[in-house]
Amino acid sequence: MVRGNRSLLEGYFHIAFFSMEIGVNPKIPTYSGGLGILAGDILRSCADLNVPIVAMTLASNKGHIAQKLDAKGNQTEFFKGWRIDDFATLKPGKICVPIEGRDVSVQAWEYKLTGREGHQLPVYFLDTNLYENTEADREITSYLYGGDERYRLAQEIVLGIGGVRMLDALGQHNISKYHLNEGHSALAVLELSKKTKQEHPQYTHEQLLEAIRDRCVFTTHTPVPAGHDKFAASLVEQLLGTYCDAVGLKYICNGSPLNMTLLALEHSGYINGVAKRHEEISRDMFPGYPIDSITNGVHHVFWTAEPFRTLYDSHISGWRKDPFNLRYVVQIPLEEIREAHRAAKKRLIDFVNARHDAGMTYDACTLGFARRMTRYKRPHLLFTNTRWLAAIAKQVGPIQVIMAGKAHPKDTFGKDLIRQIFAAIEELAGEVKIVFLEDYDMELALLLTSGVDIWLNTPKIPCEASGTSGMKACLNGIPSLSVLDGWWVEGCVEDVTGWAIETKVANVCELQMDDAEEAESLYRKLEEVVIPLYYAQERDGWAQIMRYAIAFNGSFFNSHRMVQQYLLNAYFA
């Protein structure tokens, strides 16, 4: 669809994609979790589909945190950093943004992302590490999600206001849609408003607002109230000063905190959540706004392990070009799917044993869990009743568990969850083999989502906007065992693509935990359905589920489909 109209698209419109974090390359640590990895997958698909898009993000010169764990699970953090000039080219020219009455200089580095047919799209890393800036201002683009409220607001000024100005400085004057990926870049709408007012001084407030809405697309990613940035009006005025008057920000705030999500909602003509269930939750959170949904997806080639790439190449012509062709996996013999999985699992088990001397085996049923270690994701749910878990492993069949994930440096509860998991590892020693891999990143994610047997997901309903790890797993024939939240509401066909953990339905993300009932549901599903099927003498039942996970979910929950929906529903609208 897009490839055939390449010249038409390039002649008539261009998209600017703004995101605080982008996982554009495993060697570039400018991502912290799902938001950045998703942004990278969106851009990979745009490059494959020849979509005329440019991306704006921050340089995050010192990267996101790297994780170190001691024997008790105590997390410490350090920053690896990265050499931006090893990956990107410095563009000529600079722009300035107003911060506390100073003009802070910003430069841009260009990284070229190349699609499967050679189409290149530019990703611009905004960087304040310039000699003319103060020492503090040089650090604004150093740490991803670092510092205090003032630091975060300064970063969002650089991304939103600076991003729009940099596009002009780079000669990108034909932008027809600005896609704000979460509220971090919401200040872009104010700079667009300022520009439009200068170009059309005759516009009324209503005409100006409609002009901005016609050009802005906003994607919200979280149903967790704390995930929506808010800044005190006094802090906004302190940092932006006279800019507040120029764009009417004092009128917008009216003494209340500046809610970046509401700012983006008010100025966007198309708004979407990232799953159908998330659309419903977002409409409840923000009544009065026409919130749609485009369910997330993952890049099907990037997240498919080599044994499965080889399998698909030998049986499915064109799957790399069009992932919808993965539905033809139903024609691949089950033994060949099993063989590809055995190869991927061997890579993972060998890696784990080499790193931890864990004694894990190739045949034992292996559960995988890798997420940000935070309260609502409940990584500890599997260990609510360790005696029950041990009994399942003894009576039904051996179980081994591989986990990974980082806690935010300031998330004391998340850090405590890691310690709880390490305590469970010690308690279950000799009964259930469990390994927690430190410093979870993109490369480890591919190894895990292709090598385990079951992908476990246990968020508190309805706190998971979408989730994408299970989508990566299904591309590699791995079924999910998950709470019915996020994308799994759409992807779960019980006993066909995986299994649901029965939970209480909720419409508000309450973090007070009462896990006993849901843990019981998890254990019963493992004990009575999942583990017995894995160890059944007739192995085709399990392999059939692997095949359906690919055919039903891998063919749909991919970023090519997602980008095509953005083109039709948001960019062309």
Q: What CATH number is associated with residue 527?
A: 3.40.50.2000
Per-residue pLDDT at 146: 83
Quick one: which of 204, 270, 245 has its CA closest to 567?
270
CA 108 to chain centre: 24
9 strand-pairing partners = none
Domain shared by 217 and 354, yes or no: no
Pairwise CA distance, residues 561 & 558, whole Å: 6
User: CA neighbours within 13 Å on the CB side: how many for 40?
Assistant: 24
> Do residues 291 and 313 both lie within one domain?
no
- pLDDT confidence of residue 75: 98
Q: What is the pTM of this model?
A: 0.95
pLDDT at 258: 94
**How far, in Å, CA of 482 to CA of 489, rounded?**
10
pLDDT at 275 over 50: yes
* Structural domain boundaries, residue 90: 3-297+561-571
Q: Is the pLDDT of residue 7 over 50?
A: no
pLDDT one-digit tens code per residue, 397-445: 999 999 999 999 999 999 999 999 999 999 999 999 999 999 999 999 9
The predicted model gives 525-536 an average pLDDT of 98
Question: What is the pLDDT confidence band of residue 510, given thresholds at 50, 70 and 90?
Answer: low
Give the pLDDT confidence score for residue 538 in this predicted structure.
Answer: 85
Most confident of 131-135, 510-514, 517-521: 131-135
- Give the model's pLDDT for residue 228: 85
**How many alpha carbons lie under 13 Å from residue 197 in its C-beta half-sphere?**
13
Judge whether residue 193 has pLDDT over 60: yes
3-class secondary-structure state, position 123:
strand
Phi, psi of 278 (to 5 degrees): -65, -35
Phi-psi group of 241: left, alpha or beta (phi > 0 → left; psi -120 to 50 → alpha; rest → beta): left
Is 346 a residue whose pLDDT tops 70? Answer: yes
95 & 156 share domain: yes
> Would you place residue 33 in the very low, low, confident or very high pLDDT band (cuts 50, 70, 90)?
confident
What pLDDT is attached to residue 109?
98
Residue 4 has pLDDT above 60, yes or no: no
Q: Which pLDDT score, from 0 to 100, does residue 73 have?
A: 98
pLDDT at 52 over 90: yes
**Residues 219 and 234 placed together within one structural domain of the fold:** yes
Range with the lowest mean pLDDT among 45-49, 222-226, 453-457?
222-226
Q: Please state, in angstroms and rounded to a whole number, the distance separating the CA atoms of residues 191 and 181.
A: 17
Q: Is residue 508 over pLDDT 80?
A: no
What pLDDT score does 512 carry? 57
Can you read off the two tokens belonging to residue 248?
Answer: 């009417």
408 and 284 within one domain? no
What is the structure's pLDDT at 151? 97
Please state, for a pLDDT cut of 90, what percent of the chain lies above it: 87
Read off the pLDDT of each residue in 533-556 and give the average, rounded to a whole number. Answer: 96
Inform me whether the pLDDT recorded for 34 exceeds 80. yes
Same domain, 400 and 541: yes
Neighbours of 429 (CB within 10 A): 10
Q: At 515, is the pLDDT very low, low, confident or very high (cuts 50, 70, 90)?
A: confident
| 351-397 pLDDT, tens digit each | 999 999 999 999 999 999 999 999 999 999 999 999 999 999 999 99
Per the document, the length of the chain is 573
Does residue 290 sit in the same domain as residue 341?
no
Percentage of residues in the chain having pLDDT higher than 70: 95
Residues 253 and 314 occupy one common structural domain: no
| pLDDT above 90 (res 173) | no
Same domain, 118 and 139: yes
Query: Are 287 and 352 found together in one domain?
Result: no
Contacts of 219 (CB under 8 A, 6+ apart): 179, 180, 181, 182, 271, 272, 273, 274, 294
* Number of structural domains in the chain: 2
Domain match, 16 and 61 both: yes
pLDDT digits (tens, 9 = 90+) for 440-494: 999 999 999 999 999 999 999 999 999 999 999 999 999 999 999 999 999 999 9
Residues 294-316 as b or e (16 or more Cβ within 10 Å = b): bbbbbbbbbbbbebbbebbeeeb
Written as one string, the DSSP assignment of 6-39 is: HHHHHHH-EEEEE-S-----TTS----SHHHHHH
Average pLDDT, integer, range 551-562: 99
Question: Residue 147 has what pLDDT?
Answer: 84
Domain shared by 328 and 431, yes or no? yes
